[in-house]
């Protein structure tokens, strides 16, 4: 296994790129630590496959370098990078038995049959394939075929990284959760560096210790699932992660105070972006629905929709044109009710041009906890 470094990476599919918009990957500087479980999360078209193909060597980046344990591999072809890849669709040999499929990557490299047997049996046990080792792969269900594909990716001990590219696409919804937790367990047992590419936040948050969130060719935040939820660095992260996502409300900033629909809103702490940016940039308040409460005081709003989603109720309200979601576990109001909304101050942030621009005040956080 290896530490993988992406340094000053940029990639354009155009022959003569001129502006930032011409780049599928803008500026990427990233370290993937040895043995880490990473997810690369972002919507379709944000550049995930481009990044994966650059790491595997299928694409040479327009600018920058890829280093494996400090050694420059930018110009090495895929077969010299020692990488295992699991794709959306199972890549297996239908006419071979499950055992021979799993053994293939090891036999291909001339490993001893005793080593082959030991590794195949261990991986089959982890993936619950032991019972079907003698069967031909052809007759198996799509999820079992994809498990073989995963097994082929994991069977070698000497790969630099195992990359999963949307591996659960072909899996039935009711089996997805099972394979998701299986992969997490596998990482804990195998301890290989793994990169899991997906546009699905549940898959990313279940699998990864660190999630790399991408938008329009840029990495907007890297963090643990908890960090991404607790403190989104960008409105995109707040909106993309969470169900429903963070409320993002256009506001004005006057003399360091955020004004929303004529009301002063208490923020988590002072504005750190410079005053000029606050006066000229796009200013928005970010507050997650979990921290909006419905009470007798606060911003007057009208309830426009109430959705009982099981564990809690999502109450959609409007203040003028602004839609605000609140999550409540107690009695919910009804559609059409006039209510008041309160934002938990320690969870209310200002964003300037998309980026978080407040820093928490320790005193406020302590008061909130005591209160
Ligand atoms: N071979 C190509 N030639 C030209 N443009 C490309 C090529 N491949 C990707 N792109 C463009 O580069 C950008 C990033 O695409 P990429 O496939 O890396 O995103 P993605 O996040 O993997 O999306 P998806 O999940 O849909 O595959 C997109 O604007 C896409 O249209």
Domains and CATH numbers, the chain: 4-230 (3.40.50.300), 244-370 (2.40.50.140)
Q: Is 56 helix (H, G, I), strand (E, B) or coil?
A: helix
Confidence of residue 363 (pLDDT cuts 50, 70, 90): low
Backbone angles phi, psi at 43, to 5 degrees: -70, 170
Q: Tell me how far the alpha carbon of residue 157 is from its chain's centroid.
A: 26
Asked whether 45 lines ligand 1 (CB < 6 A), one says: yes
Does ligand 1 have an atom closer than 6 angstroms to the CB of 88?
no
Report the DSSP pairing between strands 83-86 and 257-260: unpaired
Are the C-beta atoms of 100 and 117 separated by less than 8 Å?
no
List of E strands, 146-231: 161-165, 194-198, 210-215, 218-223
Protein residue whose Cα sits closest to atom 29 of ligand 1: 45
Provide the b/e sequence for 194-226 (b: ≥16 CB within 10 Å). Answer: bbbbbbebebbbbbbebbbbbbbbbbbbebebe
What per-residue confidence (pLDDT) applies to 146? 92
For 75-100, b/e burial (b = at least 16 CB within 10 A) is eeeeeebbbbbbbeebebeeebebbb
CA of 49 from ligand 1 middle (Å) equals: 7
Round to whole Å and give the CA distance between 105 and 107. 6
pLDDT of residue 330: 79
Q: Which two tokens stand for residue 216?
A: 């329009």
Cβ atoms of residues 319 and 273 within 8 Å: no
Q: Whose CA is nearest to atom 24 of ligand 1?
A: 44
pLDDT in tens, 291-337: 999 988 999 999 999 999 888 999 999 999 999 999 998 788 999 99
Ligand 1 in reach of 13 Cβ (< 6 A): yes
- 162 or 181: which carries more pLDDT confidence? 162
Query: Which pLDDT does position 371 carry in this prediction?
Result: 45
Among candidates 265, 263, 255, which has minimal Cα distance to 285? 265
| Average pLDDT over every residue of 240-264 | 94
Q: What is the pLDDT of residues 197-235, one digit of tens each?
A: 999 999 999 999 999 999 999 999 999 999 999 999 999
What is the pLDDT, as a whole number, of residue 367? Answer: 56
- pLDDT value of position 331: 85
Q: CA–CA separation, 152 vs 186, rounded Å?
A: 13
Taking CA atoms only, the protein residue closest to ligand 1 atom 8 is 50
Pairwise CA distance, residues 161 & 193, whole Å: 5
Ligand 1 pocket test: pick from 26, 49, 54 the residue with the most ligand atoms within 8 Å of its Cβ.
Answer: 49
In DSSP terms, 4 is beta-bridged to 32, 68
Query: Residue 144 and residue 352: Cα distance in Å, rounded?
Result: 48
Q: Residue 368 above 80 pLDDT?
A: no
- What average pLDDT does range 351-355 have in this prediction? 95
pLDDT digits (tens, 9 = 90+) for 255-304: 889 999 999 999 999 998 776 676 788 999 999 999 999 988 999 999 99
- CA–centroid distance, 46 to ligand 1, in Å, is 7
**Better-predicted residue by pLDDT, 188 or 275:** 188
The tens digit of pLDDT for each residue in 259-271 reads: 999 999 999 999 9
Q: Give the number of other Cβ atoms within 10 Å of residue 275's Cβ.
A: 11
Instruction: Give the separation between CA 106 and CA 90, rounded to whole angstroms.
Output: 18
CB 340 within 8 A of CB 299: yes
State in Å: Cα 13 to ligand 1 middle.
9
Report whether pLDDT(110) > 70: yes
| CA–CA separation, 243 and 234 (whole Å) | 17
Higher-pLDDT residue of 201, 178: 201
Q: Which residues pair with 313 in a beta bridge?
A: 308, 328
pLDDT at 166: 92
Q: What is the pLDDT of residue 366?
A: 57
What is the distance between the alpha carbons of residues 299 and 216, in angstroms, rounded to a whole number?
35
Distance CA 275, CA 281 (A): 10
pTM summary value: 0.91
Average pLDDT over residues 243-249: 97
Residue 46 near ligand 1, beta carbon < 6 Å: yes
Using omega within 30 degrees of 0 as the cis cutoff, is the peptide bond preceding 244 cis? Answer: yes
Phi, psi of 215 (to 5 degrees): -145, 130
- Interstrand relation of 349-352 and 161-165 (parallel, antiparallel or unpaired): unpaired
β-pair type (252-254, 313-319): unpaired
- H or E element: which one contains 160? none
| ipTM greater than cut 0.95 | yes
């Amino acid at each position: 296994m290896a530490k993988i470094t992406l340094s000053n990476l940029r990639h354009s599919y155009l022959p003569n790129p001129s502006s930032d918009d011409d780049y599928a990957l803008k500026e990427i500087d990233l370290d993937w630590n040895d043995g880490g479980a990473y997810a690369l999360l972002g919507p379709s078209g944000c550049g995930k496959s481009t990044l994966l193909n650059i790491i595997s060597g299928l694409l040479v980046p327009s600018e920058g370098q890829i280093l494996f344990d400090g050694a420059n591999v930018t110009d090495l072809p895929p077969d010299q990078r020692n990488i295992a890849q699991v794709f959306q669709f199972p890549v297996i040999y239908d006419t071979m038995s499950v055992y021979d499929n799993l053994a293939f990557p090891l036999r291909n490299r001339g490993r001893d049959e005793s080593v082959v047997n030991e590794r195949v049996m261990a991986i089959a046990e982890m993936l619950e394939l032991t019972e079907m080792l003698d069967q031909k792969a052809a007759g198996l269900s799509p999820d079992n075929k994809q498990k073989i594909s995963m097994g082929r990716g994991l069977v070698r001990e000497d790969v630099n990284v195992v990359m999963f590219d949307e591996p659960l696409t072909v899996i039935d919804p009711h089996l997805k959760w099972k394979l998701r937790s299986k992969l997490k367990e596998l990482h804990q047992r195998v301890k290989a560096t793994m990169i899991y590419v997906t546009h699905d936040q549940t898959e990313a948050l279940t699998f990864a210790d660190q999630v790399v969130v991408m938008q329009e060719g840029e990495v907007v935040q890297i963090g643990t699932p908890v960090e991404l939820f607790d403190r989104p660095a960008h409105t995109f992260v707040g909106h993309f992660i969470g169900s429903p996502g963070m409320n993002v409300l256009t506001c004005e900033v006057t003399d360091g105070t955020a004004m929303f629909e004529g009301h002063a809103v208490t923020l988590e702490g002072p504005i750190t972006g410079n005053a000029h940016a606050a006066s000229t940039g796009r200013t928005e308040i970010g507050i997650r629905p979990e921290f909006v409460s419905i009470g007798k005081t606060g911003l007057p709003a009208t309830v426009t929709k109430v959705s009982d989603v099981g564990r809690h109720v999502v109450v959609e309200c409007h203040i003028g044109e602004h839609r605000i979601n609140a999550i409540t576990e107690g009695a919910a109001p009804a559609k059409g009710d006039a209510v008041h909304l309160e934002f938990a101050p320690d969870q209310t942030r200002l964003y300037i041009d998309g980026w978080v621009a407040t820093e928490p005040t320790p005193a406020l956080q302590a008061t909130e906890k005591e209160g």
